[in-house]
Amino acid sequence: MQLRRLIQGNLPLLVSIPHMGTFLPPDVKRRMTPAALKLPDTDWHLDKLYRFAEDMGASMLMATHSRYVVDLNRPMDDGDLYPGQLKTGLCPMETFAGEKIYLEDEEPDNIEKINRVAAYWLPYHEALAAELARLKERFGYAILYDSHSIKSEVPRLFEGKLWDLNLGSANNASCAPEMAQAALAAASSGSYSAVLNKRFVGGHITRHYGDPANDVHAIQMELIWANYMGEDLPYAYAPDLAEKLQAVLKPVLQSLLDWGAARYGG
């Protein structure tokens, strides 16, 4: 099983989808609970939803393995990204709903976690870093759009319903503020609610790779499932809803490219 899918484009834009993977290695799968085997915290169908980005010419990097194996959007040392809030972890032990992921006495120990980082986490990040370097070498700058999705209400993690489009720029540390504002304006142009740096300010990928002083700009987008798919099993893709959402997401990506062209030329 390949560890990630990379499609190299011809624009200074990389779309990363680190939580869409569903593959479970057999030695992990046999130890998981029935609740976890449903993979309820997957960022479902984002490859379909963002297929237009490939058509635009953006690079695409997509995870193949489930976040329950190792979470690619958490730091390798499992540091706390959101102090004071519930931590989901590098190798999660519970689902977002608080259900156990592993059967009794089947949780991975520290050695297994280290091995998972080496086997699954590092290859994704090596590919991500290499592609950003390629884009910067070619264009003089690179833009990283880290794509995520989540159920609209997860009471254990946050109160109430999330906004439709949740942008994060690590509070303006991961990209030029003007780029984030351009993306927010595009996201707000339709009938969806859109916010910047509210509940989601960006995970490890956004914070680690965003380096605006060195012309690498990173921004995260967290979408709610209800706008493009069913929120309950079987988590079905809803083409009509998705098409409506794509009509806003495409201008968001275009706004990043337009900002880059205006800032750097091209």
Ramachandran region, residue 215 (left: φ > 0; alpha: ψ -120 to 50; beta: rest): left
Residue spans of beta strands (DSSP E) within 151-236: 165-168, 194-196, 216-224
DSSP secondary structure letters along 56-100: HT-EEEEE-B-TTT--TTS-TT---SSTTS----SS-SB-TTS-B
Condensed to tens digits (0 to 9), the pLDDT of residues 105-119 reads 999 999 999 999 999
Residue 86 has pLDDT above 60, yes or no: no
Task: With a cut of 70, say whether residue 187 has pLDDT above it.
Answer: yes
26-69 pLDDT, tens digit each: 999 999 999 999 999 999 999 999 999 999 999 999 999 999 99
Position 180 confidence tier, pLDDT thresholds 50, 70, 90: very high
> Residue 146 and residue 112: Cα distance in Å, rounded?
27
- Each domain of the chain, given as residue ranges in start order, spans 4-264
- Look at residue 172 and tell me whether its pLDDT is greater than 80: yes
CATH of domain 4-264: 3.40.630.40
